[in-house]
Amino acid sequence: MKLQEYTESKYNFEECMKCTICTAYCPVLQVNPLYPGPKQAGPDGERLRLKDPFFFNYALKYCLNCKRCEVACPSGVKVADLIQSARIRYDHSKPKLRDRILASTDFMGSLARPFAPMVNGVTKMGVTKAVLDGTMKIDKNRTFPKYSGRSFEAWLKRQAPAQAAFPEQVAYYHGCYVNYNYPQLGKDLVKVLNALGVGVQLLDKEKCCGIAMITNGMSQQATRHARHNVAVIGAAAAKGLKVVTTSSTCTLTLRDEYPGLLGVENQVVRDSLLMATRFIYEKLEKGAQLRFRPDFHKRIAYHTPCHLEKLGWGIFSEKLLRMIPGVEFTMLDSNCCGIAGTYGFKKENYAASQAIGAPLFEQIRNVNPDVVACDCETCKWQIEMSTQYPVANPISILAEALE
Amino acid sequence: MKFNTVIIGGGLCGLTCGIALQKAGRSTAIISTGQNALHFFSGSFESLTEAPARMADLFGEAGIRLHYREGVRLMPLGTFRPAALSLEDISFFPKPKIGEKALIVSFKRYHDFFAAFLADGLEKQGVACRIEWLDLPELEQLEKSPSEMRSVQIARTMDRIWEKVVGEIRALVQDEDIIILPQVFGLKDTSVPIRIRESLPAQVVFVGTLPPSVPGIRTQMLLKRRYELLGGTYLTGDEATDAHVHEGRVHSIVTKNLDNHFLEADNFVLASGGFFSKGLKSNPFHIFEPVFGLDVEQAENRSDWYHPQFMHDQPYMAYGVKTDAALHALREGAPMQNLYAAGSVLGATRPEFGSGAGLAVRSALAVVDQILKTEAE
Ligand SMILES: Cc1cc2nc3c(=O)[nH]c(=O)nc-3n(C[C@H](O)[C@H](O)[C@H](O)COP(=O)(O)OP(=O)(O)OC[C@H]3O[C@@H](n4cnc5c(N)ncnc54)[C@H](O)[C@@H]3O)c2cc1C
Ligand code: SF4
Ligand code: SF4
């Protein structure tokens, strides 16, 4: 009876029925002819690679790891996991300095933050950009995320006594972006949760989730981060705390990529970690109340980040935004914005990255909203740079709409 | 989370059902793991000759125009089938001799369109055929990865350059009265196939390619967009794994992504498709419905499930979930009060709804009527 179960491989590649549906949904295939596409790079290639690693194709590095192929596959093949795991298994080339720098988001953040105004100034300058473009192959057309002068962690530590006074507590995995680039999102979360009677704590020294390391060929470093994060999230869970997040990519990495790609067991994470939008929605559903400003009015277009679509939790962001009185809500079509973390920063990917995002940018211009809502920090950079529309996390919009 | 109706399966059946219910002011969610049979859609709704009440409106409002005329339509291998209600891409003819001379145009190094078979089939009917292959620099990009020179990728390019391509085709036409093209036009814009027809000097016929189907994906996109515009919640890539059932009523369903956040509803519709979509599954002993464990029509002995000749009609293709007259799904012989089954998951258990896409649409609308009627009572 169990024969079929026992013969199933980790990424299900033998379930592929060669229907080609995944190829219709891969954003890279639409713009980059060098990329073999999900079917070829995933299940078809796997069959060959298992025979002989010689068949590993270095063009797999063009995969964005957006997971759209997996979401579309009717047979449950883990196409993107197959591709990323093949890169981990077979690509032993050393990552370039540039990739190592782009991947080390927390290290970069802790270095850059004390000099924030200077770094921001320098990365804005044409000369610096030209140098980065020429020597590092970081595309000069990119606008860089700004570094904030004070980290979110430092801010929240000062609030600790006030936060501890709330009857209910959660821990917050804020990620590098909130800590170094945009503490305001973390502050917004604290405001909303406090309004629900929930205090916010830090974890015992979280590390970067490591997704950029995984996609830049640094899986060993990523595995060390994974073990550390599972341990600190486990410690919070042991104290009975839920752990909330505001970044869809960190969440997907912590929940799915750790066991899926790095082989790090993480049941405790799966049981205790959730997007803050889901946490808030579930509280409201159980009867908690938020009081909104009567004069709030916004036309919001919502973009579901690829990784949130994969998690399947976009529904909570959507429902929360629709719940705010005075919001006119438009759901944007399911499209990739093209940046995919560090991918779009690389000179060789810049053109592809912008071409992938073009249909999304066009739709945003047509809808002409007051603000684009989205739960991903890199989507925010990409959309703001490419459309001039402001982008805000649903949590920040909630915070703004509160009385 | 609570809805009026939760629909399992986001193919033609689930979307039709969802749109009709949203239009009637009900809150719905569709949950769908992976894409569906519309990605293989020929453009014709088998077993329908006219649009059932409301279908024309419902599709028209989504930007999908349908038509039908008695006669035949040309199939990808050069054979003919009786006409069926179709997207406007599809042409009908009074008889298989569709003209005097046909020009068949395809693209160099594109292998998913069978020009030679088409010519063969048409010549048997007395239609003289000429095949031309366009060599387009715009497709060179795609050729770098020959395994991906597929209908959808070509269609994306055609959305940009179709006017230029039409110009090249026009230059090829001699005295043909028929021009046959692969269905790679109008992925995003429904009007393109029609505009191509208007700009060429002979009757243009679009014929199916190997999957994915361009008109099928367009139909899926338009229906989904319409559904979301009406306020429906489409949970892409999630899977119903289990259900909470109490005394013949479904209280909520469990999904893979939402784990302990259950989806509650007054009504549930199972539109999970047939074997292809895993709405039905089998093991060596049984054919079963995996979410609710519903009763499935089937022969007792496995050896009776199939016919040893591959091309013969296969009995298992007719198997499906059993229902009562009002399409309530049966479990252990008893109808579930608020769970309906519709679309391919029914197999051929309800011949009055037809088969194929006709079954999907008709049974979806019948379920909607039943839900609204039960509510009114
Ligand atoms: C290859 C192929 C080609 C066809 N071509 C035609 C044609 O040209 N014309 C025609 O008239 N008919 C055609 N048919 C028949 C086709 O089945 C119907 O036309 C129709 O599209 C079926 O629609 P449906 O919504 O019932 O099922 P499907 O389109 O199969 O959709 C079912 C959906 O439910 C999802 N699902 C299944 N289980 C779960 C679960 N547990 N949780 C969540 N989601 C789930 C599946 O992933 C799928 O997306 C074709 C069928 C196949 C298989
Ligand atoms: S993960 Fe995204 S980029 Fe990579 S193959 Fe899949 S769809 Fe394409
Ligand atoms: S969609 Fe899934 S089954 Fe179809 S070709 Fe891609 S991996 Fe294979």
CATH number at residue A334: 3.40.50
pLDDT of residue A346: 72
- Note the pLDDT tens digit of each residue in A273-316: 999 999 999 999 999 999 999 999 999 999 999 999 999 999 99
Query: Does pLDDT of A43 surpass 90?
Result: yes
The answer to whether the CB atoms of A319 and B1 lie below 8 A apart is yes
Per-residue pLDDT tens digits for B24-61: 999 999 999 989 999 999 999 999 999 988 999 999 99
CA pair distance B282, B278, nearest whole angstrom: 9
Domain end, chosen from A90, A116, A147, is at A90
Of B173 and A214, the structure prediction assigns the larger pLDDT to B173
Interface test with A, best of B35, B256, B283 (most A CBs within 10 A): B35
Closest by CA to B296, choosing from B304, B284, B288, is B288
Does residue A138 fall inside a structural domain? no
Which residue in B152, B217, B235 is closest to A315 by CB distance? B235
Residue A120 confidence (pLDDT): 55
What tokens were used for A291? 């009081």
Report the pLDDT value the prediction gives residue A10, as an integer from 0 to 100. 82
Token pair 């893979």 in the structure block, residue:
B256
By the 8 A CB rule, do B327 and B342 touch?
yes
**Under a CB-based contact definition with an 8 Å cutoff, are residues A209 and A180 in contact?**
no
A182 in a structural domain: no
Residue A2's pLDDT band (cuts 50, 70, 90) = low
Structure-block tokens of residue A221: 């470093």
pLDDT tens digits for A351-393?
888 888 999 999 999 999 999 999 998 899 889 989 999 999 9
- Say whether B144 and A34 touch across the interface (CB within 8 A): yes
Strands B233-236 and B178-182: unpaired
What parts of chain B have a pLDDT lower than 70?
A: 146-147
In a domain, A65, yes or no: yes
Contact state of B1 with A20 under an 8 Å Cβ cutoff? no
Length of chain A: 403
Provide the pLDDT for residue A31: 80
Which atom of ligand 1 lies nearest, measured to the CA of B40?
3
Distances (CA, A) of B271 to A356, B32, B327, B344, B374: 32, 9, 12, 7, 19
B42 in Cβ contact with B73 (< 8 Å)? no
- Measure the CA–CA gap between B79 and A34, rounded to whole angstroms: 38
Answer whether B295's CB lies under 8 Å from B321's CB. Answer: yes
Question: A96-105, A201-210, B176-185, B232-241: which has the minimum mean pLDDT?
Answer: A96-105
Cis peptide before B212 (omega within 30 of 0): yes
Q: Answer yes or no: are the C-beta atoms of A361 and A336 closer than 8 Å.
A: no
pLDDT band per the 50, 70, 90 thresholds, residue A33? confident
Q: Which ligand is nearest to the CA of B37?
A: 1
| Any domain includes A48 | yes
β-bridge mates for residue B281, sequence order: B288
Sign of CA dihedral A174, A175, A176, A178: negative
Report the pLDDT value the prediction gives residue A123, as an integer from 0 to 100: 52
Tell whether A319 is within 8 A of chain B (Cβ).
yes
- Give the contacts of A342 (CB within 8 A, at least 6 positions apart): A99, A102, A103, A212, A215, A216
Q: Which of A90, A115, A141 is the last residue in one of the domains?
A: A90
* Structure token pair of residue A105: 């988001």
Q: The complex's ipTM? A: 0.89
pLDDT one-digit tens code per residue, A64-75: 888 999 999 999
What is the pLDDT at residue B53? 82
CA A175 centroid distance within chain: 10
Question: How high is the pLDDT of residue A345?
Answer: 66
pLDDT for A338: 87
In a domain, A345, yes or no: yes
Which domains can be identified in chain B, with CATH numbers? 2-41+218-376 (3.50.50.60), 64-210 (no CATH)
Residue at A40 is within a domain: yes
How far, in Å, CA of A82 to CA of A41, rounded? 8
Cβ atoms of B343 and B14 within 8 Å: the answer is yes
Q: SS3 of B173, please? A: coil
Tell me which chain A residues have a C-beta less than 8 angstroms from the C-beta of B141.
Answer: 33
Q: Pairing between strand A198-202 and A168-173?
A: parallel
- Residue A53: domain span: 3-90
> C-alpha angle with apex B123: B120 to B124, nearest 5 degrees?
90
Which element (helix H / strand E) includes A225? helix A219-238
Looking at the domain assignment, is residue A47 inside a domain?
A: yes
B201 alpha carbon – ligand 1 mean position (Å): 37
Q: What does the mean pLDDT of chain A come to?
A: 87
Structural domains in chain A (count) = 2
Q: Is A313 on the interface with B (CB under 8 A)?
A: yes
How many CB pairs (< 8 A) connect A and B? 99
A40 touching B, CB under 8 A?
yes
As a whole number of angstroms, the distance between CA B335 and CA B327 comes to 9
Interface of A with B in 48-77 (CB under 8 A): 70-76
Residue at A352 is within a domain: yes
Task: Count CB-CB contacts under 10 A for residue A182.
Answer: 22
Beta-carbon contacts of A299 under 8 Å, excluding residues fewer than 6 positions away, are A327, A328, A330, A368, A369, A370, A371
pLDDT tier for residue A124 given thresholds of 50, 70 and 90: low
Neighbours of A344 (CB within 10 A): 26
Which residues, other chains included, contact A24 with Cβ-Cβ below 8 Å and sequence gap of 6+? A72, B39, B150, B152, B212, B217
- Check CB contact of A391 with chain B, cutoff 8 Å: no
Last residue in a domain, options A61, A90, A119: A90
